[in-house]
């Protein structure tokens, strides 16, 4: 089976976890597999969770089985998922795959129609693999759009700043307290802020009505980033 295997990019790491329904539907998430290689490291016990059953066609199911077999047993792909020793050997020999949490390693596996974002952990006593399956075209489109960042505006639609997908804002309340909120990109006019879905103007009006101010945590975006397959990156 012909697979393209890439080091995961920082903006793709967010998509190796379950998302809200809004993000999962826009990015084409079909479902995810969780794998445990057992106490001795030689097992492969899995569970599957559906996220969008309409996308779970027979063609996808057939391909997914082939992808897992290839990652476990095809020597062309280093037997990445053969057992925990093979997984550890692969992860520690590819430090560029290490994810932001410092414990996990990330791969993106592409076929013509689908992308599989893998979060791998070679440690005993933990789940060793999470594999999130996406419609490739949908995922790439959403990632490309999300690169523009999440806009924060005032109630007159004047742009104040942008932050990256997964970035944080700090809300300063008029009583002097403050709170930080993680933000996720939905589209150019909608974002999840602290887990709640807002139209960006609705959020601006709410902040102004309550007498709050909003600022980015960290450096805001000055222009869209370039961490996207269309622009850079080579497969293994």
- Please check whether residue 233 lies inside any domain of the structure: no
Task: Based on the fold, state whether residues 175 and 124 are members of the same structural domain.
Answer: no
As for how many domains the chain has, the answer is 2
Task: Based on the fold, state whether residues 47 and 139 are members of the same structural domain.
Answer: yes
Domain endpoint, select from 144, 166, 182: 144
Q: Max CA-CA distance within the chain?
A: 62
pLDDT at 231: 36
Task: Based on the fold, state whether residues 16 and 105 are members of the same structural domain.
Answer: yes
- Please check whether residue 103 lies inside any domain of the structure: yes
- Please check whether residue 226 lies inside any domain of the structure: no
Residue 1 confidence (pLDDT) above 90: no
- Please check whether residue 62 lies inside any domain of the structure: yes
Residue 200 confidence (pLDDT) above 50: yes
Q: What mean pLDDT comes out for the span 183-196?
A: 96
Task: Based on the fold, state whether residues 86 and 137 are members of the same structural domain.
Answer: yes
pTM for the structure as a whole? 0.90
pLDDT at 227: 53
Q: List, for residues 171-181, the tens digit of each pLDDT value.
A: 999 999 999 99
Pairwise pLDDT comparison (225 vs 73), residue with the higher score = 73
- Please check whether residue 129 lies inside any domain of the structure: yes
Task: Based on the fold, state whether residues 177 and 204 are members of the same structural domain.
Answer: yes
Residue 65 burial by Cβ neighbours in a 10 Å radius (0-12, 13-18, 19+):
exposed
**CA 184 – CA 197 distance, rounded (Å):** 9
Q: What mean pLDDT comes out for the span 39-66?
A: 97
Q: How confident is the model at residue 235 (pLDDT cuts 50, 70, 90)?
A: low
Q: List, for residues 92-129, the tens digit of each pLDDT value.
A: 999 999 999 999 999 999 999 999 999 999 999 999 99
Task: Based on the fold, state whether residues 137 and 169 are members of the same structural domain.
Answer: no
Q: What mean pLDDT comes out for the span 116-144?
A: 97
Output the CA angle 104-105-110, nearest 5 degrees: 135
Task: Based on the fold, state whether residues 170 and 111 are members of the same structural domain.
Answer: no
Tell me the two tokens of residue 54: 């309409």
- Please check whether residue 212 lies inside any domain of the structure: yes
159: domain range? Answer: 148-217
**CA 228 – CA 208 distance, rounded (Å):** 35
């Amino acid at each position: 089976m012909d697979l393209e295997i890439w080091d995961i990019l920082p903006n793709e790491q967010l998509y190796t976890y379950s998302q809200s329904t809004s993000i999962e539907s826009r990015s084409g998430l079909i479902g995810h597999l969780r794998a445990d290689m057992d106490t001795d490291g030689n097992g492969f016990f899995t569970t599957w969770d559906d996220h969008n059953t309409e996308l779970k066609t027979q063609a996808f199911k057939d391909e997914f089985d082939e992808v897992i077999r290839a990652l476990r047993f095809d020597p062309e792909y280093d037997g990445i998922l053969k057992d925990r020793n093979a997984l550890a050997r692969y992860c520690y020999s590819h430090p560029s795959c290490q994810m932001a949490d410092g414990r996990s390693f990330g791969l993106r596996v592409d076929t013509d129609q689908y992308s599989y974002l893998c979060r791998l952990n070679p440690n005993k006593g933990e789940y060793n693999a999470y594999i999130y399956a996406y419609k490739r075209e949908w995922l790439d489109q959403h990632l490309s759009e999300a690169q523009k960042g999440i806009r924060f505006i005032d109630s007159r639609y004047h742009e104040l700043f942008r932050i990256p997908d997964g970035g944080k804002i700090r809300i300063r309340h008029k009583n002097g307290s403050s709170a930080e909120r993680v933000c996720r990109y939905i589209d150019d006019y909608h974002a999840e802020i602290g887990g709640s879905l807002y139209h960006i103007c609705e959020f601006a009006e709410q902040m102004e009505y309550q007498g709050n101010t909003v600022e980015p945590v960290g450096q805001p975006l000055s222009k869209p980033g370039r961490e996207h397959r269309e622009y850079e990156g080579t497969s293994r």
